[in-house]
Structure formats: C-alpha cells, structure tokens
Amino acid sequence: MASIEQLKRTPLYAAHLEWGAKMVPFGGWEMPVAYSSIIDEHTAVRECVGLFDVSHMGEVLLAGPNAETALNHLLTNDVRKIAVGQAQYALMCNEHGGVIDDLIVYRVEPSVYLIVVNASNIEKVFSWMNSQASASAVLENESDKTAMLALQGPNATRLLADSTDISYFHITRKSVFGRKCRVARTGYTGEDGFEILCDAADGVAFWTELLRRGAECGIKPCGLGARDTLRLEMCYPLNGSDMNEDTTPLEAGLGRFVALDKGDFIGRDALLGQKENGIERKLIAFKMAEKSPPPRQHYPIVSDARRIGEVTSGAQSPTLGIGIGMGYVEADAAVIGTKIGIEIRGRKYAATIEKKPLLKRTKTQPVL
C-alpha cells in the first residue's frame, strides 16, 4: 500500500494521464497499471509492439580502475566476462546468500558499469554498494536524471531500424530521433526489443515519437499489469515476490548466474554450503490443469493432501488461456510433471509442475 509520503512520479507522469492510464502505487512510485486493458496490452507485445515507461527503475554508475574488482565482489555472476558494450544478468546477495536485488550490469566503457536496479530497491542497493565499494570505486546514483523506456515485441526492430545492429544483451550510445541516448537490446517480456536510457528531460519526446511512429503497425502503451503477465509467462522472477533477502539464487533456480568458482564475493560461503548440502526448497513453475480463479501470491501448494509450498507469483496467462504461476515447494517435491493442487478460497484446483519457461518464444529468447 502507498506510504504516507508522496509517491514518486517519473518524467512521463503527465503523458500517462494523457494516454488514459489508470495509475497505481508500485514500490513507492505512482505508475500506470494499464491504459486500455492489461490483456490487450499483453497481446500487443506478443504480436506487435508495446511501449513501457520503466523510468522508475534505478541506474547506478560504478567507475574507476578498480570498478571490475569492486563489482565482482558485490555480485554473484562473473563480471570479468562482460565485454565492453555487453550486458549481464546478476544477483546482489547479502552474507547469507539472500537476494538483495537482481539486476542487469551493462559495461558501457572499459572501466564504467551501468547497473539497472529494481525501482523499490534503489536506495537500498545504492547504499549497500556505497558501504561495500566506495573505497575502491566511484559510485553515482543517476536514477533521478535518467528516463528509461522499453520497446518490446516482434515489431520493435521496425521502429528502431537503426538499432538492429545492436546484438542481444548489448548496449551502445545512439542518436535516436536526433537525441542522445543509450540503447540496449534487453527486456523483461521474452520478446525481441530495446530499452532506451536517456536524460530525464527527453523521456516524453521519445515516448511521444515512438507511439507516433508505431501507430500504423498498432503500437500500444503498456503498463505494469501487462509487464507482470508477460514476465510471468517467461518465468522471469520478480524481486520482492519470487525472491527476497531470505531466499537464495540457488533456491530460485538461478545457479547459472552464480559463479562460485570466480573467487570470493558476498554470500559465496553461504551459497557454497547450500550447494554442498543441497537446497531445501525450490522455485517451480506451474500451469493449472483446469479452469480456476487466477493463482495468486500466498495461495498454498499441496500434494497428496499435504501442503508442500506456497505461490509467490500467479496470474491468468493471456497467451496460454489458463492460470500459471511460480512458487517455492519442498525440494524433493519439485519434480517436473508432478500433479499438484493450488488452494484457492478453500478449494483445491489441479495443476502441474512445468519446465521453465512456460512459454516458448522463437525470436531471441533471453537466457533467464
């Protein structure tokens, strides 16, 4: 629920209202949940192209000759593998291996890293990085100066034809519509697309121009409602729901982003111990086997009349036409193909544990 302090607004707030957005509180921000319909916006991204304002997310710059070492100590993945212009998904853990945030690192220059963090965690991540790394690297929180838009869908490349030279999970400086920006070929939807980072003052101009150019192919402005159903179909975890400081990347099935062999990093000892002893719970994906109310966070997951876990994220999948979700279950019970039940308002509905992702996208499917 919204706190007593004023919710923050992105540079595109007025544009959202102009486009008919329904605004809701999210992680301390007042954001559009939808403009027309969550399902229509979701479908537009899968079949055409959609545009999201993601300016609420945070941008932290880490620079200096020791930047790589400092960052490698903070994150689970091996940042030494990132070439200049390349991006990497990583987790930032506490000493217990619990997830502080999941984020994308972009190596924008040889000794400069741009880290995009979750909106609700900006202050927490920046202050954690400051306390751990400021002795060895220069840190700047650029979030307030930066706007970010995500253009996602099979037609994204038609609207940014000059950016098709940017390969998947790479970023570069560009001049788009006569304005300077960074364009990254990343996203949170499972579709091909771009994320544009620009000066806060230019956010509205990019938004307006993209919607204008995309009008003839059916572009839609898309809100957080569609953002959530899109990422859930891909089984991309949402920090705060599917992961938090009490869950580890190994429990979440993100072991391939944890480079235990790279040397020491915060949380390594705990994660090494967990790898050796085995995890006790695992984040699984499930699909409902019958018509049901939408699965939602905290609904019990049962098997053989025994509660084995809890839903962390759930929704009616617009593309699959059935309920889907993710949740932690006892590790022994986390077997693909297992028939489980989801308890909704006291009644058990049948579901099956499925392989991730729940949706296969043929075009540039991200590795998450």
Identify which of residues 232 and 252 has a Cβ nearer to other proteins in the complex: 232
In the block, tokens 């980072």 appear at 197
Binding mask 346-365 for other proteins (x = CB under 8 A): --------------------
| Minimum CB distance to other proteins, residue 234 (Å) | 17
Tell me which of 119, 197, 285, 315 binds other proteins, using CB under 8 A: 315
125 touching other proteins, by CB under 8 A: no
Site string for other proteins, 170-209 (x = CB under 8 A): ----------------------------------------
Nearer to other proteins, 316 or 364 (CB): 316
Cβ distance to other proteins smaller for residue 120 or 157? 120
Closest CA to 192 of 159, 221, 216, 223: 159
> Nearer to other proteins by C-beta: 136 or 316?
316
Cα dihedral 36/38/42/44 (nearest 10): -10
Whole-Å CA distances, 234 to 132, 205, 229: 33, 30, 9
Distance CA 302, CA 343 (A): 7
Considering the rule CB under 8 A, would residue 225 count as an interface residue with other proteins?
yes
| x/- map, 238-277, other proteins, by CB under 8 A | ----------------------------------------
Residue from 345, 346, 362, 367 touching other proteins (CB under 8 A): that is: 345
As measured in angstroms, the least distance from the Cβ of 267 to other proteins is: 33
Q: Closest Cα to residue 64, out of 169, 128, 144, 140?
A: 140
Cα(281)–Cα(92) distance, rounded to whole angstroms?
Answer: 20
Distance separating alpha carbons of residues 113 and 262, to the nearest angstrom: 19
One of 7, 9, 22, 331 touching other proteins (CB under 8 A): 22
Closest CB 21 distance from other proteins, rounded Å: 11
Q: Tell me the three state secondary structure of residue 258.
A: coil
Give whichever of 149 and 232 is closer to other proteins, judged by the CB atom.
Answer: 232
Q: Which is nearer to other proteins, 241 or 303 (CB)?
A: 241
Which 54-113 positions form the footprint of other proteins (CB under 8 A)?
Answer: none
The nearest distance, CB 324 to other proteins, in angstroms, is: 12
Centroid of chain to Cα 2: 22
Helix/strand/coil for 86: strand
212, containing H or E segment: helix 203-214
Q: Read out DSSP for 330-342?
A: EGGG--TT-EEEE
Return the C-alpha torsion angle 323, 328, 331, 336, nearest 10.
Answer: 20
Residue reference for tokens 């091909």 = 192
- Verify cis geometry, omega within 30 degrees of 0, for the bond prior to 318: no
Q: Which is nearer to other proteins, 38 or 204 (CB)?
A: 38
Nearer to other proteins, 11 or 314 (CB): 314
Q: x/- contact string, 25-64, with other proteins (CB under 8 A)?
A: --------xx--xxx-------------------------
Q: How far is the CB of 296 from other proteins (least distance, A)?
A: 7
Which of 307, 285, 274, 175 minimizes the C-alpha distance to 236?
285
For residue 188, how far is the Cα from the chain centroid?
Answer: 5
- Beta carbon nearer to other proteins, 33 or 67: 33
For tokens 């400069």, the residue is 112
Write out the binding residues for other proteins, residues 278-307 only, by CB under 8 A.
Answer: 292-294, 296
287 closest CA partner among 275, 277, 299, 295: 295
**Would you say 91 or 238 has its CB closer to other proteins?**
238
Task: Quote the radius of gyration of the chain (alpha carbons, Å).
Answer: 20
Count residues binding other proteins (CB under 8 A): 15
Contacts with other proteins by CB under 8 A lie at 22, 33-34, 37-39, 225, 229, 292-294, 296, 315-316, 345
